[in-house]
Amino acid sequence: MTAISREGARRRTFAVISHPDAGKSTMTEALALHASAISEAGAVHGKAGRRGVTSDWMELERSRGISITSAALRLDYRDHVFNLVDTPGHADFSEDTYRVLAAVDCAVMLIDAAKGMEPQTMKLFEVCRHRRIPVITFVNKWDRPGRDALELLDEIEERTGLRPTPVTWPIGMPGDFHGVVDRLRGRASRYTRTPGGATKALESELTAERAQAELGRAWQQAVEEIGLLDAIGADHDQKTFEAHESTPVLFGAALSNFGVARLLDALVELAPAPAPRPDVAGVARPLDAPFSGLVFKVQANMDPAHRDRIAFVRVCSGRFERGMVLTHAATGRPFATKYAHAVFGQERTTLDEAYPGDVVGLVNATALRPGDTLYDGPAVAFPPIPSFAPEHFAVARARSSGKAKQFRRGIDQLDAEGVIQVLRSDLRGDQAPVLAAVGPMQFEVIQHRLAAEFGAEITLDRLEYTLARRTDPASAEAVARQRGAEVLTRSRDQALLALFTDRWRMRSIAADHPGLTLEPLIADTTR
């Protein structure tokens, strides 16, 4: 095994997917408490320190309770390096989430014990299904009244199609949580809360005799339920887990750190390590080939003091060394990596080297776009990340004509980050681009960022279109003459997009003009 393969084998790159309020931030903090954050500033001590690892750096995020930024927290645990990639918490940013999930090898699906599978959990799960990302399920908040464990398993199976295979099983109903039986390790442990959850939970081994004597009914019930699971063969199976067919399930309470160490163990023992990534031609680049990486996120102005642009790159092969000069596959131009950081929220630390699975933040990466490949040695390009079909459209204009330059610069910047799709036409002119979003909250982000970062207040006039299709110049001419339709050019790739008020309008136009090219956008690519 080469040094690079060895380093790759001890990486675990994952994301936590959940509905807002299920406990993602609490879990992130709890994980950072159990595994030491690999950044001097990131070391976590006590409740006050815990806040430091949350990623709500933006005013808007705070006021709306959403997280739009995505970066990676590096954690060190049992001689493994974890890269926890942050996902946006709102459905309107699903395009962003899709890109982020292109960078991970595994997802932890966090479920609120009282609420089960919630809408946003489902949406994020769908992305995992699409990308066939293995999913570990963590049922959170077991310290509070909630649903029956077996009923939750049924719901997980019904909604996701994955066969749930409990790794741990709770002793006690939700709200009366004593510990878990570890079905994989064949032993039981009892949890004792530490005040405030600021330190690791105390965990002691529980023998059957002690459990029976001390926990009585709760223990008996757990034993009965486990008998049931054994009988139906709901046992962990590595092959089906990695094939996205089954999901190991763990129970716990992130707030009191119950089950958090076991989740980290499951990530070490079950979650897949980085594997060779296939390029556009389907040929996998070996882990120990020269460096290659995928840009999955571009974010400007994360730090108001620096106002720079960071591209987040997932290392796919080779060893990254700060200072390397790489090739940008999209342009063939060299790219110098003088400023390489590990970034989470507002914290940055210089990163000197990185291995497959790691996330590198490259500063001042003006040429990089989400989906781009960087490489050293033999050329490689990874498949581009699909962009979603927008369903919301609005015309943006600078409130003051004196700010036209700032407006233009801001729009171009946010377009490059992939925050929104920018559509233009000669008819509408340069100062009134159409912004196309997957979810309406993207408009708020644009409005907020243009004002805060570029000094350009804007007005947004919503258009009545709800549907976009890719078209060609010949069809564009015919579509452009119709009522309830319009053709614009997408700035990021010069694609011609036909917009329609609704499906019926599109169908009737297509029926009147046989042979029109109108392709769905879902499998679209950003470049």
Whether residue 101 contacts residue 70, with contact meaning beta carbons closer than 8 Å, is answered with no
Check binding of 328 to ligand G4P (CB under 6 A).
no
- State how far the Cα of 358 lies from the Cα of 344, in Å rounded to an integer: 13
Which residues, 251 to 290, sit near ligand G4P by CB under 6 A?
A: 253-255
Per CB under 6 A, the list member of 34, 141, 236, 470 interacting with ligand G4P is 141
Q: Which is nearer to ligand G4P, 166 or 318 (CB)?
A: 166
Q: Which is nearer to ligand G4P, 45 or 507 (CB)?
A: 45
Cβ 252 to ligand G4P, closest distance in Å?
7
Which residues, 10 to 29, sit near ligand G4P by CB under 6 A?
A: 18, 20-26
Structure token digits, residue 34: 């159990």
Q: Which is nearer to ligand G4P, 142 or 375 (CB)?
A: 142
Question: How does strand 485-490 pair with strand 421-424?
Answer: antiparallel
Cβ 239 to ligand G4P, closest distance in Å?
31
Check binding of 178 to ligand G4P (CB under 6 A).
no
- State how far the Cα of 378 lies from the Cα of 401, in Å rounded to an integer: 49
Q: Which is nearer to ligand G4P, 26 or 327 (CB)?
A: 26
Instruction: Please name the residues in contact with 180: beta carbons below 8 A apart, sequence gap of 6 or more.
Output: 168, 169, 170, 171, 188, 189, 191, 250, 251, 252, 259, 262
Helix-, strand-, coil-residue percentages of the chain, each rounded to 5: 30, 30, 40
Give the gyration radius of the chain's Cα atoms. Answer: 25
Q: Which stretch binds ligand G4P (CB under 6 A): 171-179, 215-223, 247-255, 486-494?
A: 247-255
Binding-site residues for GTP, in ranges, read: 86-90
Q: Which is nearer to ligand G4P, 24 or 163 (CB)?
A: 24
Which residues, 283 to 312, sit near ligand G4P by CB under 6 A?
A: none
Question: How does strand 309-317 pair with strand 292-300?
Answer: antiparallel
Residue (of 259, 201, 197) closest to 46 by Cα position = 197
Which residues, 191 to 230, sit near ligand G4P by CB under 6 A?
A: none
- State how far the Cα of 197 lies from the Cα of 391, in Å rounded to an integer: 43
Binding-site residues, in ranges, read: 86-90
Q: Which stretch binds ligand G4P (CB under 6 A): 6-14, 249-257, 289-297, 399-407?
A: 249-257
Q: How many positions of this chain bind ligand G4P (CB under 6 A)?
A: 15
HSE-CB of 453 using CA atoms within 13 angstroms? 27
Cβ 361 to ligand G4P, closest distance in Å?
22
Check binding of 140 to ligand G4P (CB under 6 A).
yes
Residue type, 351: L
Cβ 38 to ligand G4P, closest distance in Å?
22
Residue (of 165, 135, 164) closest to 235 by Cα position = 165
Q: How far is CA 121 from the centre of its chain?
A: 12
Cβ 23 to ligand G4P, closest distance in Å?
3
Cβ 266 to ligand G4P, closest distance in Å?
17
How many beta carbons lie within 10 A of that of residue 91, not counting itself? 17
Judge residue 336's burial from the number of C-beta atoms within 10 Å of its C-beta, 0-12 exposed, 13-18 middle, 19 or more buried: exposed
Cβ 18 to ligand G4P, closest distance in Å?
5
Q: Which is nearer to ligand G4P, 53 or 329 (CB)?
A: 53
Check binding of 143 to ligand G4P (CB under 6 A).
yes
Cβ 199 to ligand G4P, closest distance in Å?
15
- State how far the Cα of 78 lies from the Cα of 321, in Å rounded to an integer: 24
Q: Which is nearer to ligand G4P, 55 or 317 (CB)?
A: 55
Structure token digits, residue 39: 């950044």
Question: How does strand 187-192 pair with strand 179-182?
Answer: antiparallel
- State how far the Cα of 20 lies from the Cα of 389, in Å rounded to an integer: 24
Cβ 60 to ligand G4P, closest distance in Å?
16
Q: Which is nearer to ligand G4P, 26 or 442 (CB)?
A: 26
Q: Which is nearer to ligand G4P, 254 or 485 (CB)?
A: 254
Residues that bind ligand G4P (CB under 6 A): 18, 20-26, 140-141, 143-144, 253-255
